[in-house]
Amino acid sequence: MRRAILAVTLGGALLTAAACGDDAPPATPSAAGAHSTPPAVAVPAESKPNYAADTRQVCGKLETIYSKDLKNFGTELGRMIALREAKQADAAEKAAKAARAQLKAVADKVRKETAAAQDPELRKAGAESAAKFAKSAQDSALLDKIKSTADLDKSLETLMTAWLTPVAGVCG
* Contacts of 108 by beta carbon, 8 Å cutoff, 6+ apart: 130
Burial (CB < 10 A; 0-12, 13-18, 19+), residue 161, is middle
Pick the closest to residue 9 from 53, 58, 70 (CA basis): 70
Question: How close are the terminal C-alpha atoms of the chain, in Å?
Answer: 20
Q: State the CB neighbour count (10 A cutoff) for residue 76.
A: 20
Residue 109, amino acid = K
Q: How far is CA 105 from CA 48, 65, 76, 130, 131, in A?
A: 34, 9, 13, 10, 12
Q: What is the pLDDT of residue 157?
A: 86
Strands (E), the chain: none
pLDDT tens per residue, the chain (172 residues)?
333 333 334 344 333 333 333 344 444 444 444 455 555 555 555 677 899 999 999 999 999 999 999 999 999 999 999 999 999 999 999 999 999 999 999 999 999 999 999 999 999 999 999 999 999 999 988 888 888 888 888 888 888 999 999 999 999 8
Position 58 scores a pLDDT of 97
Whole-prediction pTM = 0.70
pLDDT of residue 35: 52
Count, in order, helices (H) and strands (E) of the chain.
7, 0
> What pLDDT is attached to residue 19?
37
